[in-house]
Structure 1
Amino acid sequence: MSESCNSRHFSWLMKSCLPNPSDAKSLVPIHHANPPPTTVTPISSLPDDLLLECLSRVPSSSIPSLTAVCRRWSRLLLSPYFLHLRRRLGLLRHSLFAVSAVDSGLFAAVLQVPSWRVSLAVCDGGGQGSLSHARAAAIGPRVYVVSRNAVLRYDSWMGTVSLRSPMIFPRKKFAIAVVSGKIYVAGGGGGSEVTAAVEEYDPERNRWEVVTHAARKRYGCIGAAVDGVFYVIGGLKIGNESSVTSRGAAAHVYASSMDLFDVRSRQWLRSRSVPGGGCVVAACAAVGHVYVLSSHAVELSFWRFDARRGGGGVFGEWTRLKSPPLPAQVRLDGTVRFSCVGVEDKVAVVQVVGCIDDLLRRSGRSERGMRESLVLLYDTVDGEWRRAADLPEMITRAACACVEW
């Protein structure tokens, strides 16, 4: 092989691409009278749809700093389209969220197995009113804490709290659920007055409106939503009856039944009852089913209702499941309440002691070694219960929800 290249070995095409050393003109650089300017397109000049595609791919930890860039970016990051893109890209994860109110704002905790991550968010709209009987509902990363006279929105991405419009009818111990990005509340009330109005909250317009009236007024009821249906479960009937016997019968029927409201058709479906009676103390929705925790004075029963209307199961079928393994010191009385939250294919049962002193006094114990709350996780796939980390001590009377963040 030759040590150097010979021009005769090149084809005429390649030789035509090389400058001729004997031609002085070919060695003179070409100067343009007006060289084309170098154009750099900033990301801020992109249209909204392309900019959202770029922003939706950033890690969650960077989102708070992005909102400070400009108002346009902040508006896009708060839009439902940003949430939709991150969900489509698989960048959202579901977590159990618990919140409780303090004078300065909200204590928020997210369960990141095996422990909780706690933060304090200060309300930027002034006082938050009474949140002692608040319910929580999550739409994506934003949790709405709804109480009788106030509504707070907690943003789990930003760690901020803001005041929103209160309900039209002040109420407590009501049912709440999210259907198609809107919040629905039913039942509850104040004193002897229980409202029949079912309200819908649009977070985009920050507006409540009455969409229907329930046939049965419930107090202390629980909400869940599956396949476009708002379930109003359990509770008590408060009203005038002709006799003590009829009042007791009505209360028993209400405590173990649920009303079904089809949000799209604005129609009430046939009511269903929990088998075995008892009093429903907690309920939630997960993987196309409604899970119900019912109390029978000295024990708990756990039930699954098939809420899938589009096939894949028998709509309305009840199945009894393994009861949650509560510690021996937990007594089913008025000092203990439960919350159920569906988190993907898990059901979280959060037990909260309303007043630890009352519980110790009733049990005859004087020591303070009992935890105020515990968390149990039910796996809907293998049907087994597992204990998760207890709620942090600063989270008292917690309102719980499933948050995407």
Structure 2
Amino acid sequence: MQRVRVSSHQSPVHKLGDNQMRLSPKFRLQMTPPHPCPLDSILTLELGPLIPGLPDDIALTCLLRLPLDFHSTCRAVCRRWRHLLARKEYFFTQRRALGFSSPFLFTFAFHRCNGRIQWQVMDLAHFSWHTIPAMPCRDRVCPHGFGCVAIPQEASLLVCGGIVSDMDCPLHLVLKFEVCRNRWTVMTRMHTPRSFFAGGVIDGMVYVAGGFSTDQYELDSAEVFDPAKGTWHPVSRMLTNMSSYDSAVLGGKLYVTEGWVWPFLSSPRGQVYDPMTDTWESMTAGMREGWTGLSVILDGHLFVISEHEGMRVKVYDTESDSWGTIEGCSVPERIRKPFSVNAIGWTIYVVGRGLHVAIGFVQRERSIVSVGNRMKSTFSIRWREIDVPLTFCDLTPSSTQVLFG
């Protein structure tokens, strides 16, 4: 295990929950084309080249690689640089147009004393922290009640549902954050208000299921959101009413589990939705019984950071319907519950209290012959810790997503 100490710059935190906050027109659904590129001959004649001695197209590819930490300083170089770097919407739009992208870790967190919620974003290429605009929400809400999913194709986040603090009043709110535009948009509401529900993205479509309704009544309804059309449609109801502890998309299906809850008086329930047939079925016993933590999908394999077995990482074997512990250390001790997880490629990101981050590098060791001449993969993991600003000590994560921008 390797520990890395990184000097981080923290931007002013935008807080959510202010009763004076109002939805402004800029948060409404807008279908406007992106701003045109100002790198034309007129602007070049008026303000000069981006970098003297270089064509503007080459200079642009250089400036679009600047880390966000340096933007405030570089804006003072000249008006051309300020025009490019002062607007995050334009900067990220140009990066995407030229095929540049780097991963960012978006963490939905709340202050453990006052309950105020906010998004903190870590640049995974440089390990620096940044903020995004506050979500347009007027009510004080319970952060765990939201459903948060990433839509990689659009480089956007979708935040759905939720519940008003100190009230059994679920929400059908739907908010969308676009990395390229650096802004939130109020989307079409869900048909059913819900909190603590399952969610996942299958073939670009966002599915939500179950959760709590008014007076903590469990739901069996499910619906799907089409990001391209901005519309919701109902799908088949679940086999039974249930809320969600965790969910995952594996093999084009949505897996939903209640998870083990103290004092473990009853076994958890689990269901699986197949969008191809619009049907639900019960989760297999082995998968359901061993799903004891939060999950990530790596190359078609289901991994779980177990909450009840020393924070070890387990992997599910479909053929035997069983779980096995992978080789390597447990999650570092500095990662305290509650935590949130996500992954890209073969890398797992775990964010604990105080927004301490542990990065787990998973490696497929080898394939061995097991009983019945069946090939079985084994895995190992090594961890790397990332230090964070001390000002995060009172923050607790609720959800973590990885997007490229």
Fold shared, TM-score > 0.5 on shorter chain: yes
**Hey, what does 2:133 align to over in structure 1?**
121
Query: Residues 113-192 of structure 1 correspond to what in structure 2 (within 5 A)?
Result: 113=125, 115-123=127-135, 127=138, 130-133=141-144, 134-140=146-152, 141-148=155-162, 149=171, 150-190=173-213, 191-192=215-216
| Matches of 1:248 and 1:106, distance apart in 2 | 33
Residues 183, 200 of structure 1: 8 Å contact kept: yes
Deviation at 1:402, TM superposition (A): 1.7
Q: Which region of structure 1 is more displaced relative to structure 2, 196-205 or 99-108? A: 99-108
| Matches of 2:397 and 2:193, distance apart in 1 | 20
CA separation of 1:373 and 1:169: change in aligned 2, threshold 3 A: same
2:239 to 192, 215, 230: 215
How many residue pairs match? The answer is: 296
Deviation at 1:188, TM superposition (A): 1.5
Query: Residues 63-82 of structure 1 correspond to what in structure 2 (within 5 A)?
Result: none
For 1:378, give the aligned amino acid.
Answer: G
Deviation at 1:301, TM superposition (A): 4.0
Query: Residues 230-379 of structure 1 correspond to what in structure 2 (within 5 A)?
Result: 230-235=254-259, 251-254=266-269, 258-269=270-281, 271-274=283-286, 277=289, 280-296=292-308, 299-305=310-316, 318-322=323-327, 325-328=330-333, 336-352=337-353, 372-379=354-361
CA separation of 1:104 and 1:132: change in aligned 2, threshold 3 A: closer
**Hey, what does 2:399 align to over in structure 1?**
399
Residues 257, 288 of structure 2: 8 Å contact kept: no
Residues 340, 350 of structure 2: 8 Å contact kept: yes
**Hey, what does 1:193 align to over in structure 2?**
217
| Matches of 1:295 and 1:105, distance apart in 2 | 24
Residues 224, 233 of structure 2: 8 Å contact kept: yes
**Hey, what does 1:387 align to over in structure 2?**
384
| Matches of 2:138 and 2:85, distance apart in 1 | 27
Deviation at 1:400, TM superposition (A): 0.8
CA separation of 1:151 and 1:275: change in aligned 2, threshold 3 A: closer
The answer on 1:100 being equivalent to 2:126 is: no
Q: TM-score, normalised by structure 2?
A: 0.60
CA separation of 1:68 and 1:341: change in aligned 2, threshold 3 A: closer
For 1:400, give the aligned amino acid.
Answer: T
Deviation at 1:228, TM superposition (A): 1.4
Larger Rg belongs to: 1
Deviation at 1:67, TM superposition (A): 6.4
For 1:387, give the aligned amino acid.
Answer: R
Identity %: 18
| Matches of 1:105 and 1:351, distance apart in 2 | 15
Residues 334, 356 of structure 2: 8 Å contact kept: no
Deviation at 1:165, TM superposition (A): 2.9
CA separation of 1:178 and 1:389: change in aligned 2, threshold 3 A: same
* SS, match of residue 397 in structure 1: strand
Residues 116, 389 of structure 1: 8 Å contact kept: no
CA separation of 1:145 and 1:128: change in aligned 2, threshold 3 A: farther
CA separation of 1:319 and 1:326: change in aligned 2, threshold 3 A: closer
Deviation at 1:127, TM superposition (A): 2.9
Deviation at 1:94, TM superposition (A): 3.6
* SS, match of residue 147 in structure 1: strand
Residues 278, 295 of structure 1: 8 Å contact kept: no
For 1:130, give the aligned amino acid.
Answer: V
For 1:253, give the aligned amino acid.
Answer: P
| Matches of 1:122 and 1:105, distance apart in 2 | 9
| Matches of 2:321 and 2:179, distance apart in 1 | 35
* SS, match of residue 284 in structure 2: strand
For 1:286, give the aligned amino acid.
Answer: L
Q: Which runs of 5+ in 1 are unaligned?
A: 1-41, 45-53, 238-246, 308-313, 353-371
| Matches of 1:287 and 1:252, distance apart in 2 | 29
| Matches of 1:305 and 1:64, distance apart in 2 | 47
| Matches of 1:228 and 1:209, distance apart in 2 | 19
| Matches of 1:201 and 1:101, distance apart in 2 | 27
Residues 313, 330 of structure 2: 8 Å contact kept: no
| Matches of 1:167 and 1:390, distance apart in 2 | 38
| Matches of 1:126 and 1:138, distance apart in 2 | 19
CA separation of 1:66 and 1:154: change in aligned 2, threshold 3 A: closer
Residues 260, 292 of structure 2: 8 Å contact kept: no
Deviation at 1:349, TM superposition (A): 2.2
Deviation at 1:121, TM superposition (A): 0.7
Structure with the bigger RCO (C-alpha within 8 Å, sep 6+) is 2
* SS, match of residue 268 in structure 2: helix
CA separation of 1:391 and 1:170: change in aligned 2, threshold 3 A: farther
Q: Which region of structure 1 is more displaced relative to structure 2, 200-209 or 381-390? A: 381-390
Q: Which runs of 5+ in 2 are unaligned?
A: 1-35, 39-56, 67-83, 163-170, 365-379
Deviation at 1:300, TM superposition (A): 3.4
CA separation of 1:113 and 1:231: change in aligned 2, threshold 3 A: same
Deviation at 1:227, TM superposition (A): 2.9
For 1:252, give the aligned amino acid.
Answer: S
**Hey, what does 1:25 align to over in structure 2?**
none
